[in-house]
Amino acid sequence: MDRIFSGVQPTGDLHLGNYLGALKNWVRLQHDYDCLYCVVDLHAITVWQDPGELASNTREVTAGLIAAGLDPADNIIFNQSQVAEHAELAWIFNCIARLGWLNRMTQFKEKAGKNRENASVGLYAYPNLMAADILLYKATHVPVGEDQKQHLELARDIAQKFNGDYGVELFPLPEPLILGAAARIMSLRDGSAKMSKSDVSENSRINMTDDADAIARKLRRAKTDPEALPADIDGLEGRPEAANLLGIYSALADRPFEDVVADQAGRQFSEFKESLTELAVAVLAPIGAEMARLISDPGYLDGVLADGAERASNIARPIIDEVFDTMGILNLRARRSP
Ligand code: TYM
């Protein structure tokens, strides 16, 4: 069976972009592939994380994955730091990837901002760790939002260069799965900026733990334009906020974008926002309630993650051994006592 790997950072609240762009697809795909879903704490620390919050954020994101519908018995759910092979393979990939490749990564440029000299080395090498995450399991498919596309191209380049340098077919070239209208959910305050955890405005995003009042308030304040909703998709040209809200509706309702645009044609934003709020509350409130229930049981969540780490290690270790053998690294693990 083909294998999926995907990850999410424990850097704060999960938001609607994470849910519609990633988690919802993970839930849909979980029975058709052999799946690993990872809470990537080693990626999170490429920027400062409060030690008092990292562990609870890791549990909270784990709760989000399960509440969204991932079955921890069927899927391997774990936190990255607990499978040390991620860091081992990332180092090897630091020696495979070229500086020129990393210099092209737009997400580093965005995250490092003007003060590039002061960014951590980890933030710069982040895409190599991400390639290691995927290739450590020889994953064939990676469901992500649009913003991760360039990182996946780099993972493919690394796999190809490793295979070419050593004359092997060790790593498959992983395929991105970037699905549907929700692959890029935009900020509620600015239709040209991605919905993101790092946006300073809480009103820019809907969090998965938001209650009905918060969802209603944020959608009421969501930026719009003065026109009614257009008759067809062509009429969304130059209207990014309208396109975004209709895209969110279509993803939440699981209905084709064209059909939603046709249904809402001619309505005023005020009316449409009411329907959207009703739909968002109906979808998100049960997930938020289940998250709260799971978060109150950290022992259960830790058990899921420990079990996942064990199962992930069992897949990763033989693959790292294969990498060491290919590279001529003297591997004495089998001779050491367990
Ligand atoms: P992260 O934690 O930023 O986001 C997790 C997932 O949510 C998607 N996403 C969005 N999708 C649509 N619209 C948005 N506004 C939006 N914001 C976030 C992301 O595309 C992602 O799929 N580098 C990754 C984590 C990672 C990973 C991996 C992913 C680490 N190793 C290996 C796949 C494979 C990240 O920072 O995602």
Nearest ligand 1 atom to alpha carbon 5: 34
Give Cα 125 to chain centroid, integer Å: 18
* Structural tokens at position 111: 């995250």
Known catalytic residues are 111, 194, 197
Regarding the beta carbon of 5 and ligand 1, being less than 6 Å apart is answered yes
Query: Which pLDDT belongs to residue 208?
Result: 95
Q: How far apart are CA 184 and CA 21, in angstroms?
A: 7
Residue 336 binned pLDDT confidence (cut-offs 50, 70, 90): confident
Report percent pLDDT > 90 for the chain.
95
Q: Is the pLDDT of residue 338 over 80?
A: no
Give the tens place of pLDDT for each residue, 280-303: 999 999 999 999 999 999 999 999
CATH homologous superfamily for the domain 3-183+297-336: HUPs (3.40.50.620)
Residue 230 has pLDDT above 80, yes or no: yes
For residue 265, the CA-to-ligand 1 centroid distance in Å is: 32
Q: Is 6 in the pocket of ligand 1 (CB under 6 A)?
A: yes
**Phi then psi dihedrals of residue 198, to 5 deg:** -85, -5
* Helix then strand then coil, % of the chain, to nearest 5: 60, 10, 35
Distance of CA 169 to the CA centre of its chain: 28
pLDDT at 337 over 80: no
Report the pLDDT averaged over residues 93-119. 96
Q: Is 21 in the pocket of ligand 1 (CB under 6 A)?
A: yes
Query: b or e along 244-263 (b: 16 or more beta carbons within 10 Å of the residue's beta carbon)?
Result: bbbbbbbbbbeeebeebbeb
Domain with CATH 3.40.50.620 in the chain: 3-183+297-336
Q: Is the confidence at residue 231, as pLDDT, over 80?
A: yes
pLDDT for position 334: 86
Which pLDDT score is estimated for 118? 96
User: If pLDDT is split at 50, 70 and 90, which confidence band does 180 have?
Assistant: confident
Is CATH 1.10.240.10 the classification given to domain 202-294?
A: yes
- Residues of each domain in the chain carrying CATH 1.10.240.10: 202-294
pLDDT tens-digit series, residues 52-83: 999 999 999 999 999 999 999 999 999 999 99
Tell me how far apart the alpha carbons of residues 241 and 174 are, in angstroms, rounded to a whole number. Answer: 33
pLDDT at residue 227 greater than cutoff 90: yes
pLDDT classification of 312: cutoffs 50, 70, 90: very high
